[in-house]
Amino acid sequence: MDLLKAEIEKKRKQLADANLLNPNKKFFKRSDLLNKEREEYLKNSTVKIEGLENPVEKQSSGSGDENNSTTSEKHTLSRKEVIRRLRDRGEPITLFGESELDSFKRLRRSELAEPESNKGFRNDFQEALEKVDQDYLDKLMTNKAPEKTYTELESMEEAMATYETIQSKAGILGRRRDRSQDMEIILQLLQLLLKMWEVQLNARSVKEKSSTKGKLALATYNQTQIYLKPLLRKLKNSSLPDDILDSLTLITKHMLEKDYLRASDAYLEMAIGNAPWPIGVTMVGIHARTGREKIFSKNVAHVLNDETQRKYIQALKRLMTKCQQFFPTDPSRCVEYAPDT
């Protein structure tokens, strides 16, 4: 009851402040109240707009006041940054008769209208290509060679010796119950293939590196290196799931035996799977349906589980292709055999 009385008193006070009631009348029109509220709203909004436009008018008038010029410089971006943002949004850099300040204001209006324009549609391979171009430009400007990721490997001869050492351990892969030893062998092979790939890219001539084909090859390597980081981290920490570890162990074993056809079959079984997921209810009563035994991670594809797994599974396929190029074998045991000419 007290709240109701307080609300009634509040309404009476608002009406008294609005001066809608004449001393001779006990009532007022609702249209008068709406007109009064509209006038107050327009008055307040006009004051705010004038407060915002005054600094802009002072900046564009160019009256020679140093304080106004310094404040305008603080609130505007550099011309280079304005051009970059306008290009990212697909807007023209300068319209006819437009000053730099006007183009900056147009950029602000566009950012307020579409804050997230074209964001999230960037291709990571395009970013890798841009990084390659930027590194090449930096190299030309500084006349210095880019830093190598793997500096402990100097030649392919050392890589062959390391490969023979890893190949001698292929017989114990998957036989023992020591998961950490299997993951260590897999990690050594993947790192070796990455090192050999980098040595091959660095051994190219300057003309090959600067060509479009050379840039694409380097961008593919950089993208593969980024994609493999989660997998290498899990192998180092011995935290790889058992189902993926079993498939990786089988793939690595076939790669070390130079049986790339079977390695490709094992890869497809891991990536795509060999059993469809059963549709509908699988446990209706006391007896399970025929598709119940297929709902296991061993029989279901991993490529669509999440984006991280998809990326390092794709990068693994690239390393399998490179392994076939570095260590060739009989054509009957290769995938898409194409001898180097």
Q: Residue 221: is its pLDDT beyond 80?
A: yes
Domain positions in the chain: 15-75, 78-121, 124-333
> Which of the four CATH numbers 3.30.750.24, 1.20.1050.140, 1.10.15.40, 1.20.940.10 does domain 124-333 have?
1.20.940.10
CA atoms within 13 A on the CB side of 322: 23
Average of per-residue pLDDT across 77-84: 87
pLDDT recorded at residue 7: 83
**This prediction's pTM:** 0.55
Considering only CA atoms, which of 320, 192, 306, 220 is closest in space to residue 267?
Answer: 320
CATH number attached to the domain at 78-121: 4.10.280.110
Q: Are 129 and 137 in contact (CB under 8 A)?
A: no
Q: Are 246 and 298 in contact (CB under 8 A)?
A: yes
Work out the pLDDT band at 63, boundaries 50, 70, 90: very low
CA 293 to chain centre: 37
**Residue 312, H or E segment:** helix 307-326
Q: Count the neighbouring beta carbons within 10 Å of the beta carbon of residue 218.
A: 23
Among 1-5, 154-158, 246-250, 319-323, which is the least confidently predicted range? 154-158
Average of per-residue pLDDT across 294-311: 64
User: Does residue 278 or residue 337 have the better pLDDT?
Assistant: 337
Considering only CA atoms, which of 163, 166, 147, 145 is closest in space to residue 155?
Answer: 163
Considering only CA atoms, which of 192, 164, 180, 195 is closest in space to residue 258?
Answer: 164
Same fold, 78-121 and 124-333: no
Count of all residues that appear for the chain in the document: 341
How far is residue 271's CA from residue 188's CA, in Å, rounded to a whole number?
22
